[in-house]
Amino acid sequence: MKYLVIKCGGSVLENLPRSFYEDIVKMHTSSEWTPIIVHGGGPLITSLLKSLNVETKFVNGLRVTDHQVLDVVEMVLSGSVNKQVVRNLAEVGGNAVGISGVDGGLLKAAPTADAKTLGFVGEVVEVNHSIIQGIINQGFIPVISPVGIDAGGQRYNINGDIAASAIAKALEANLCFISDIPGILVDNNGVKTKLDKVSKTIIEQMIQEQTIYGGMIPKVKAAIDGLVHNIPEVGIINGFEKNSLLDYSNGKCVGTKIVLEEEIA
């Protein structure tokens, strides 16, 4: 059985077409690939925090999270967004189970090295992948909210890209980030062109030059970390392009493939 972890960011999720969910269901019923969805929910979190007059700040693409922000993060991610994805799949004939990283200690977390700045933002130290495999074995598509927990019961807000990479590592799965752009774009004399393939060194250089910035930083860092820890393949594709997910899973040249140096040609 081959696993494909599909990471959908919150800004993308709000507008993904019905055909995207249909492609996931087709993939699930084909038996060749088993989809696992990890989602974000950033814009909805920001909107709710604003309505509650709670300030929100970001450092290198990660949301600074205190107790009040953490409550809102869990409410939005594990409640509203998670169940919306499950419903979207149900509408096109899919059977999905929504679960949080807190449930069963699915995502065991610890504070980041920047805890003094970021607060309750966590990194994944262990994935209880037997929970995911149990859901799959029952015939369901897992839909995972990236809120983690430590041994003492403290919750952590985990960046969805980082959570997706950790889950892919645990399952030795391919990893695919769903975007609203064709892949990683570079500016050539005022014209944006897509990189079909890009290496770890080039990505680090692009971050240094601020060609890659904001929310794309944790995405590409998670991709690199996954490759270093033996994720077979990482891609960034446009979820709004018809059949892009199926084309990607069938090995066609779609989006940007992120590789280690020795694989670039």
Binding positions for substrate are 41-42, 63, 157
Residue 245's DSSP bridge partners are none
Point out the annotated binding site: 41-42, 63, 157
Is the separation of the CB atoms in 62 and 108 below 8 Å? no
Whether the CB-CB separation of 126 and 57 falls below 8 Å is answered with: no
Q: Angle CA(259)–CA(167)–CA(38) in degrees, nearest 5?
A: 95
Dihedral angle sign, alpha carbons of residues 240, 241, 246, 248: negative
Alpha-helix runs per DSSP H in the chain: 10-13, 18-30, 42-51, 67-74, 82-91, 115-118, 129-137, 160-171, 200-208, 216-228, 244-249
Q: Work out the number of other CB atoms within 10 angstroms of the CB of residue 199.
A: 18
- Alpha-carbon distance of 146 to 76, in angstroms, equals 11
Number of neighbouring beta carbons within 10 Å of residue 149: 21
Sign of CA dihedral 72, 78, 82, 84: negative
End-to-end CA gap in the chain? 29
